[in-house]
Amino acid sequence: MTDSVDGIGRVQLRLIEQSVSSRSRARAWGIVPGSRYLFVAERLLGELSAPALSAIVAHELHHLRRWHPLGRVVLPAIFLIGWAWAIVVAPLSGLVGGAVLVAPYWLMVMAIERRMERRADIAAAEQVGYEAMVEALRHLDETSDEQSSGRIAWLASHPTFAERIAHLEAEYDGEPVDNAKSTTDGGHHDRS
């Protein structure tokens, strides 16, 4: 599962039991070096091929490498601390100002979260292969209880699996790549 994934040695990998209907099947967690974890649902071991499992691990590992869990803590904290400070300094205007800014700030945070997911998908595809990442996303889409109809995309923290697959296809110009590491530029696909 981790043979083709670079950098896994500094992260503790944990298998977790999880119900079939559970939304999250893998998660990067931790902001303190030495206490950073990558959780993978045990049931995925029997459901996915080794390359697709490696793609999921590479995706989550990218989150840890780029300190995404820290961002998920810091971004809301910045707003809440700022809002609390504004309320202390000027109670009425601080309260109203924060209430007015909470929705645009939340939308910005959700946009950042969606971008982090797309970047982690691309990083995993570059590391273990486009086809493995697409296989993993298709499996997750097929086994997910995620509802994309009636969903407002800009309110969500994650793009739908279909959107993520479409983004990967656009990134690689719709050309399946057995192993993106084999590209001539050292594993980095041209995104110009």
Residues in contact with 89: Cβ distance below 8 Å, sequence separation at least 6, in sequence order: none
How far are the Cα atoms of 125, 132, 136, 177, 192 from residue 189, in angstroms, in the given order?
A: 10, 16, 20, 11, 9
pLDDT in tens, the chain (192 residues): 554 455 555 777 788 876 555 555 888 888 887 788 888 888 888 889 999 999 999 999 999 988 898 888 999 999 999 999 999 999 999 999 999 999 999 999 999 999 999 999 999 999 999 999 999 999 988 887 666 655 677 777 888 888 999 999 988 875 544 444 434 344 444 443
42: which residues sit within 8 A by CB, 6+ positions away? Answer: 15, 16, 17, 18
Decide: helix, strand or coil at residue 84. Answer: helix
Task: Give the whole-angstrom CA distance, residue 35 versus residue 12.
Answer: 8
| Order of strands across the sheet that contains 37-41 | 12-16, 37-41, 26-29
Q: Give the residue from 59, 55, 4 showing the smallest Cα distance to 27.
A: 59
